[in-house]
Structure 1
Amino acid sequence: MRFAILGISHETNTFSRVPATYEEFEKATIARGQEIVDLYAESQYTISGYLQGAEELGFEAVPLMYANTGPIGTITKDAYDRIANEQHQMLRDQGPWDGVLISNHGAAVSEEFPDMDAEFTRVVREIVGPDVPVGVTLDMHANISKDTVANTDVCIVWRTCPHLDTKLRGRKTAELIYRTALGEIKPEQFIEMPPMLVNIVKQFTGQEPMLSLVDECVAANEIEGVLDTSIAEGYPYADVEEMGMSWITITDGDAELAEKVSKDLAASAWTKRVDLNKPVASIKDALTQAEERYMGPKPEGVENFMPDDGSALAEAVESEHSHLGPIVLMDVGDNIGGGSSADSTHILKVAQEMGVTGYLQSLYDPEAVEACVAAGTGAEIALDVGGKTDDMHGEPVHVVGTVGVIDDGPYEETRPTHGGYRFYDDGKRVLFNTVDGMTILLTSMRGGNTARAQMYSMGIKPEDYRVVVAKGVSSPRPAYQPIAAEIIIVNSPGVTSADLDTFEFKSRRIPLYPFEEPNYPEQD
């Protein structure tokens, strides 16, 4: 049996002013054929799960084309047409197929198609016909429509945030499509889309309120006849009708059961809607807390452990050293994984005014990088850094300091990462140490802080700092929670701010909690 692999993965922040052009995809990833295998076979990403499924189950995986770019603004018509048309033409030309495996994000918006994922899967279905099973694996931040579910036989969503189960969920999609192709199962899907959001600051699945909702979703798989259940947190920065949480249940031929399970899970979440939207600390409060709670560096070679590690060793190490290490501040308003600019100076400015020392953060600023390179390693210079993309992420901050390491940008991470990625590139980058006790990693490409190797590869040991700013909400946790004494989520301004009232929504559903109080049935 031959299964095609293809996909366009993009998390579209419709409030971002940086369009997702074809060139942006080229700078990130446009891979064809063997290039896909080379990039993902040894990673923990969805596609590696597809490839693993092929090897273990015995079908032939045929990678066609895959494209992604970091979360930025709306996909241009030119970019979507060129990428989708090429992929769809490959699907036509290289068939016939026994199955199709799609790796999309699920929150993509193009200039022509507000529900790009639905349009992409619609054409796939049109090409292969009604009898070829089609599976798609989506990010937990997907805004999933009924059309996307209708266009596929199996729609599976990652269940962890940060995203640590991407390969596992891809493998599950591959297995269900394989069993469908064999005629062993007849998947029936149902999606329930209650009128509610979960704020980005409450999306970590390792703690309440999301922890128990994920547990309930997983437990529902034990119901006889249920093949899989998914919970999608949704993506609140895409102004589209389907924006919000959703639940998908897949059963073996039982449409009524699929509907009941999805609705029961959604009703349970509805009772927690207030907790799912509670506010977090301001910038000044977060920095004050960090200064007060810092107790010293983590001992060499000692790491904290992720919350789900219940081993005796983990408990012993955690008990002895749980308050040692940097205080990590999650910069919500400059959440790179949500489509932000990577050059927000809001936290940096307040930290500078407060005289915070032992401070570390990255900052996208090609202009500053160029100035540092021109000055050379060891030079002491003055710079105005950050705040240059738009007027939402602060103004440039004046700093004086010394140019340290200068590097071309690529690095590799072998530790667990959000999304399962392994290879990264900051572009030309510079280590800059200010005279007032701050370290800034200046980059010439936008990037988040989802891998500690980003710092280690520049000779920076984040364990030695008092305060580390990580641009994101949940995505930096796999990298920084192991070394952090504490993580504080910061309600900073920006294009990914937790204050959703700062955005002008024109296309979302009405009513939608927390903007309005809809009449939605609660669990009995």
Structure 2
Amino acid sequence: MSSYRVLVAGFKHETNTFIKQPTTMEDYKKRRLVYNDEIIRFFTGTKTEIGGFIDTAQKEGITLIPSIAADACPGGRVEKKVFNHVRDAIIKTYKENQPINGILLSLHGAMVLEGYPDGEGLLLESIRQVTGYDLPIMVTLDLHANITEKMRFNSNGMFPFDHYPHVDMYERGVEAATNLFRMLRNEIKPVICIKKLPILNPCLESGKPPHKPFLDMALEWEKNPQVISVSVVSGFPYADIHDATMTVIAQTNNDPELASQITEEIGEAIIKKHKDFVKYTTPLEQAIREAVEAPEGPVVIADVSDNTGAGAPGDGTHVLRKMMEMNVKNAAFALITDSETVEKAIEAGVGSSVKVSLGGKSMPEILGDPIEAEGIVKTITDGRFINKGPMSRGLMNDIGPTVVIDFDGIEVIVSGRRIQPFDPEIFRRMGIEPLDKKVLVVKSMVHFRAAYTPLAKKIIDVDVPGPCPQNLRLLKLENVRRPVFPLDEIE
């Protein structure tokens, strides 16, 4: 049994700065706020980064010292008091559990605080002020991390997801833990090189062009024994900060020249293809017509601009309203966030008719007004379900009391808590078999494709107004570095 003791913590948020409502401690409590030994119980057996930390430590005989794991649904800027709480919890664990030989952190990389643009960089810097710079710190990050120099300077290794949908969370956790343990045994001396690119990526899939060829280049470089890891990071354009652009990261074993060579080679190759980093969507009425007229179902319509996974409120009504106008039948919709409607449906009871003012409460000027309609309450549940698809498999979701209301052939899931419906289990938990439906609607951008592609006959991304459009020219970006594509011409 090794004598090494490693602190484990997580602090995640993907911040959409175009959402005015701040992210509070209550938002973290709604999604995930776990302390101390409960972290081990919660994440053991899950295909998550912390699940990867746990399995690797058990295999290596490393003792983990769990501190705090905090995760909130993407949204507006994180309140500073939330940041202070998590930072203080990590530092308290570090001080009270000496000796600590290293730290593993599960972060996102696109956290913006009230009054500060780089949440992860500030967290790492704050920890370093206590630990000094001799203690190894490795972090996992999202593919949509906005990489900063402060993040690089204050960590010994950064391991972003390679894939979008994020089906490799667990593998990146294993990779970060394995390399931390290698560093503890003096087997490696990591150096990190980053290259920021003048490109805003509209959250494109990693498994298709234009992203895939550059991911393939990164994976090819990783075959070099001197290379620890290489990452092509998309960034998150809905966080309007200076560093919200694509980044290439190369990490080598004490070979800064090689790391620089890799980032330059891949970075320049990406810049040559920068005009390919755009996303085209389908007009709403055309998308619905294609879905209804398709010979077989289910056809999945993705409302990408109201994607809660990118910080949107999830109560947009454009798609549902048009489906009602076009008299769509045999459809299921995931989901509308609306606690008032949930309360009305529960009060009415299963089988009862209920009149509601559905959705459209958070940003009606952008996402559409509430829909005044009458439907039948089909299902009432506690909103708890376990992911069974490729992404975050085994993780428990709890979105609170959730109902299904049937609006003349369109079964709409309504919850008081936001969630990105990337796993079909959200339908099944609500009594809806997605394979039996002609049309499925999900408020998601790309994550849903991991689990829905095998069951969908066709997938259509629709173009409607929202706070996370994939046409980035629609965003009123003020702080991102310039020049940057697609806002400017670049060479």
| Matched position secondary structure for 1:274 | helix
Tell me the equivalent position of 2:445.
Answer: 473
One-letter amino acid of the structure 2 residue matched with residue 433 of structure 1: D
The answer to whether the 8 A contact 1:180-1:186 is kept is yes
One-letter amino acid of the structure 2 residue matched with residue 243 of structure 1: A
The answer to whether the 8 A contact 1:164-1:420 is kept is no
Tell me the equivalent position of 2:336.
Answer: 363
Q: CA deviation at 1:206?
A: 2.2
Tell me the equivalent position of 2:434.
Answer: 462
Q: CA deviation at 1:30?
A: 1.5
Structure 1 segment 398-413 matched on structure 2, within 5 A: 398-413=372-387
Q: CA deviation at 1:379?
A: 0.9
Q: Is 1:94 matched with 2:97?
A: yes
Q: Is 1:38 matched with 2:11?
A: no
Once the two structures are aligned, what percentage of the paired residues are identical? Answer: 30
Distance, in Å, in 1 between the alignment partners of 2:415 and 2:469 is: 22
Q: Is 1:179 matched with 2:190?
A: no
Q: CA deviation at 1:56?
A: 1.4
Q: CA deviation at 1:103?
A: 0.6
Q: Is 1:170 matched with 2:170?
A: no
The answer to whether the 8 A contact 1:159-1:165 is kept is yes
The answer to whether the 8 A contact 1:97-1:128 is kept is no
Distance, in Å, in 1 between the alignment partners of 2:32 and 2:322 is: 36
Q: Is 1:426 matched with 2:399?
A: yes
The answer to whether the 8 A contact 2:108-2:141 is kept is yes
Tell me the equivalent position of 2:261.
Answer: 260
Q: TM-score, normalised by structure 1?
A: 0.90
The answer to whether the 8 A contact 1:384-1:397 is kept is yes
Tell me the equivalent position of 1:299.
Answer: none
Q: CA deviation at 1:328?
A: 0.5
| Matched position secondary structure for 1:381 | strand
Q: CA deviation at 1:421?
A: 5.8
The answer to whether the 8 A contact 1:166-1:420 is kept is no
Distance, in Å, in 2 between the alignment partners of 1:10 and 1:332 is: 19
Instruction: Answer with 21-30 or 64-73: which moved more.
Output: 21-30
Q: CA deviation at 1:223?
A: 2.8
Q: Is 1:448 matched with 2:420?
A: yes
Distance, in Å, in 1 between the alignment partners of 2:9 and 2:94 is: 9
Q: CA deviation at 1:43?
A: 0.7
The answer to whether the 8 A contact 1:239-1:506 is kept is yes
One-letter amino acid of the structure 2 residue matched with residue 363 of structure 1: I
Gaps of 5+ in 1: 297-324, 520-524
Q: TM-score, normalised by structure 2?
A: 0.96
Instruction: Answer with 388-397 or 157-166: which moved more.
Output: 388-397
Distance, in Å, in 1 between the alignment partners of 2:303 and 2:215 is: 25
Q: CA deviation at 1:491?
A: 2.2
Please list the CA deviations of residues 385-418 of structure 1 after superposition, one character each: whole Å capped at 9, or x if unmatched: 111112221111122221111112111223322x
The answer to whether the 8 A contact 1:107-1:142 is kept is yes
Distance, in Å, in 2 between the alignment partners of 1:476 and 1:119 is: 32
Q: Is 1:376 matched with 2:377?
A: no
Distance, in Å, in 2 between the alignment partners of 1:260 and 1:91 is: 37
One-letter amino acid of the structure 1 residue matched with residue 374 of structure 2: V
The answer to whether the 8 A contact 1:360-1:465 is kept is yes
The answer to whether the 8 A contact 1:167-1:420 is kept is no
Kindly tell me: are residues 334 and 275 of structure 1, through their superposed partners in 2, closer, same or farther at Cα, counting changes over 3 Å? same
Instruction: Answer with 28-37 or 185-194: which moved more.
Output: 28-37
Distance, in Å, in 2 between the alignment partners of 1:481 and 1:198 is: 22
| Matched position secondary structure for 1:222 | coil
The answer to whether the 8 A contact 1:49-1:170 is kept is yes
Q: CA deviation at 1:48?
A: 0.7
Distance, in Å, in 1 between the alignment partners of 2:73 and 2:142 is: 13
The answer to whether the 8 A contact 2:279-2:471 is kept is no
Instruction: Answer with 217-226 or 452-461: which moved more.
Output: 217-226
One-letter amino acid of the structure 1 residue matched with residue 382 of structure 2: D
Please list the CA deviations of residues 28-52 of structure 1 after superposition, one character each: whole Å capped at 9, or x if unmatched: 2121111111211111110011111
Please list the CA deviations of residues 201-231 of structure 1 after superposition, one character each: whole Å capped at 9, or x if unmatched: xx11222222222111111112341111111
Distance, in Å, in 2 between the alignment partners of 1:247 and 1:286 is: 35
Q: CA deviation at 1:420?
A: 4.4
Distance, in Å, in 1 between the alignment partners of 2:283 and 2:265 is: 36
Tell me the equivalent position of 1:304.
Answer: none
Please list the CA deviations of residues 40-79 of structure 1 after superposition, one character each: whole Å capped at 9, or x if unmatched: 1111110011111101122111111111101010001121
Please list the CA deviations of residues 405-444 of structure 1 after superposition, one character each: whole Å capped at 9, or x if unmatched: 1112111223322x44611122111111112x21111112
One-letter amino acid of the structure 2 residue matched with residue 148 of structure 1: M
Tell me the equivalent position of 2:132.
Answer: 129
Kindly tell me: are residues 183 and 19 of structure 1, through their superposed partners in 2, closer, same or farther at Cα, counting changes over 3 Å? same
Tell me the equivalent position of 2:84.
Answer: 81
The answer to whether the 8 A contact 2:386-2:393 is kept is no
Structure 1 segment 265-280 matched on structure 2, within 5 A: 265-280=266-281
Distance, in Å, in 2 between the alignment partners of 1:350 and 1:405 is: 24
Q: Is 1:295 matched with 2:298?
A: no
One-letter amino acid of the structure 2 residue matched with residue 414 of structure 1: K
Tell me the equivalent position of 1:208.
Answer: 209
Instruction: Answer with 170-179 or 381-390: which moved more.
Output: 381-390
Root-mean-square deviation (CA, aligned residues, Å) is 1.4
Tell me the equivalent position of 2:194.
Answer: 191
Gaps of 5+ in 2: none
Structure 1 segment 300-339 matched on structure 2, within 5 A: 325-339=297-311
Count of aligned residue pairs for this structure pair: 486
Please list the CA deviations of residues 297-319 of structure 1 after superposition, one character each: whole Å capped at 9, or x if unmatched: xxxxxxxxxxxxxxxxxxxxxxx
Instruction: Answer with 234-243 or 126-135: which moved more.
Output: 126-135
Q: Is 1:218 matched with 2:190?
A: no
Q: Is 1:395 matched with 2:331?
A: no
Kindly tell me: are residues 421 and 13 of structure 1, through their superposed partners in 2, closer, same or farther at Cα, counting changes over 3 Å? farther
| Matched position secondary structure for 2:461 | strand
The answer to whether the 8 A contact 1:230-1:248 is kept is yes
Distance, in Å, in 2 between the alignment partners of 1:287 and 1:414 is: 28
Distance, in Å, in 1 between the alignment partners of 2:128 and 2:434 is: 48
Distance, in Å, in 2 between the alignment partners of 1:414 and 1:462 is: 14
One-letter amino acid of the structure 2 residue matched with residue 228 of structure 1: S
One-letter amino acid of the structure 2 residue matched with residue 5 of structure 1: V
Aligned match of 2:459 in 483, 487, 492?
487
